[in-house]
Chain A
């Protein structure tokens, strides 16, 4: 036994590595196949057997999408609503996080647990009354309607509170003795020390907003207000699916997340894992 474990590769290791690489291939193949399908001609897409390497790089699918009067609009709607949601909910989370982390006041725990409790309640369970509320505010087919349910994040408040509690109280006290007000302390001490947690939170909230499906599906009924996630499903109709166009659309939909992932890979992976463990 002991000699076996000193070897670099035991049989057990080899079996594990083989399964590991099979899983890796299963993980990456759909993404690869999406990308090459986006560059295939319609004839090649319908060819049997499928081609794993495209015969030629065909740009027709992308040009078709970008000449579709609605597709750019969908993309723009996704960008606008996700950016608004991210900016507003990150600001709200930072402010509330600061209040909960660094102050004592009456009813503080009541407020905090009321917010925390909403994390557990699934959005799908109260979407019907929420819809009628937003409809009564004339929010159907508006950006206001698209963003309003996500404009505040209970997870974000919890996340920022946890992170801001790590900032030493002594720093805040020292600034107070120097006569700094609460807003000034927030601006000059708390914010600069929270840059990394704020950026992790921004990325997480942006990715969540970008992939939102149920709410945009019910609040936007006019094609001009559809977001990308909805628009992609419209590229198929009852009798025919243009997979080339659809995969080109999917590739475009992936771009923002992919850019964020390339630059903030470590932050995203740790942030998501941590938020899962904490939240």
Chain B
């Protein structure tokens, strides 16, 4: 309504431009409505209904789905698993990425080549990555158990045990994320002015002091940012978990994560209401992390 007078005041060129913009934006916004806005709102609404994926009909049940989900031991376990993976994968991949970036940034010979090779896992998709590591962690023929055997440690059945399978899942996640974090830190390190280092060199500062008093403080904002980005990614962990525990060896052992729980409630148990309530929990966590990230980037 408010735009009506403005539209009338437009000259001919402005009207043509407006028509052009709308002819592009209206189809795009419609598509967004159907594949983003409406499903997002529906998730919120359905989380208050008892609604089946396969049978028609629905009934309003208030907070019952939330109560069911939040008191479900399976859900609590999936939250715990997700938390474990997020914390370990984030800290290891951020530390590793920071370390690799600082070595790559030293400008030694062949560093460009090593950097490209270190980046490779980022472009490898998750399923092949997980399957590769699954083979390395195999009970019978896996390289990792064989290395353990050399040191006199008995073979460990990594995949078959619900708590042990966390290890290969974290390893895959770190393996895939480290190169990505390396690139972001690398860009950040490049941005630190050379003059800072040069004047420090004149003062006879050693490597450790340089790291402690220049690099780390200068990189603090970007480090916080990378941590939150990694957390947002790992809270959604699913592919690694389902691939690592599917098929042989796992003997029905499933490693539930938050997204796995949503998937199972929705597509195996056909309960749209419970799946939506769990999805709202995921959404809430991600939005909190995003708000944190925005606050951090405003402080810069």
Chain A interface residues toward B at CB < 8 A: 1-2, 4-5, 10, 12-13, 16-17, 19-20, 23-24, 26-28, 30-31, 33-34, 37, 45-50, 92, 95-96, 98-99, 103, 105-107, 111, 114-115, 118, 120-122, 124-133, 148-149, 151-152, 154, 157, 176, 181-183, 207, 210-211, 213-214, 218, 229, 232-233, 236-241, 243, 246-247, 250, 253-254, 257-258, 260-261, 265, 268-270, 272-274, 276-277
Chain B interface (Cβ < 8 Å from any Cβ of A): 2-3, 6-7, 13, 16-18, 20-22, 24-25, 28-29, 31-32, 34-40, 42-43, 46, 53, 96, 99-100, 102-103, 114-129, 131-133, 135-136, 138, 140-141, 143, 146, 175, 178-180, 183-184, 186-187, 201, 204-208, 225, 229, 232, 236, 238-239, 243, 246-249, 251, 259, 262-263, 266-267, 272, 275-276, 279-280, 282-283, 286-287, 290
Which B residues are in CB contact (< 8 Å) with A274? 187
- Provide the residues of chain A in CB contact with B131, threshold 8 Å: 232-233, 246-247, 250
- Residues in A neighbouring B146, C-beta threshold 8 A: 48-50
Smallest CB–CB gap between B112 and chain A, Å? 9
A148 contacts across to B, CB distance below 8 A: 35
The residue on A at minimum CB distance from B28 is: A96
A23/B118 in contact, CB under 8 A: yes
- Chain B residue numbers with a CB within 8 Å of A132 are 53, 272
10 nearest interchain CB pairs? A211-B125, A236-B247, A129-B42, A106-B3, A250-B128, A273-B183, A126-B39, A2-B204, A129-B39, A125-B283
Is A107 a contact of B127 with CB atoms below 8 Å?
A: no
Contacts of A31 in B (CB 8 A): 120-121, 124, 132
Question: Which residues of chain A are near B183, meaning CB under 8 Å?
Answer: 269-270, 272-273, 276
> In the assembled complex, which residues on chain A have CB atoms less than 8 Å from the CB atom of B229?
276
Please pick, from A34, A115, A130, the residue contacting B132 in the complex, using a CB distance under 8 A: A34
Tell me if A182 and B17 are in contact (CB < 8 A).
Answer: yes
Task: Report A-chain residues with C-beta under 8 Å of the C-beta of B46.
Answer: 128-129
Q: Within the assembled complex, what's the spacing in Å between the Cα atoms of A13 and B283?
A: 44
Closest beta carbon of chain A to B76's beta carbon, Å: 19
Number of A-B contacts (CB under 8 A): 271
Which residues of A sit under 8 angstroms from B232, Cβ to Cβ?
122
Instruction: List, in ascending order, chain B residues with CB within 8 A of A49's CB.
Output: 146
B269 CB to nearest chain A CB (Å): 12
**19 more CB-based (< 8 A) A-B contacts, given A27-B117, A276-B229, A277-B225:** A1-B205, A20-B114, A23-B100, A27-B175, A33-B135, A48-B146, A98-B24, A106-B6, A120-B286, A125-B282, A126-B36, A126-B40, A128-B53, A128-B262, A131-B267, A132-B53, A237-B247, A261-B123, A273-B187
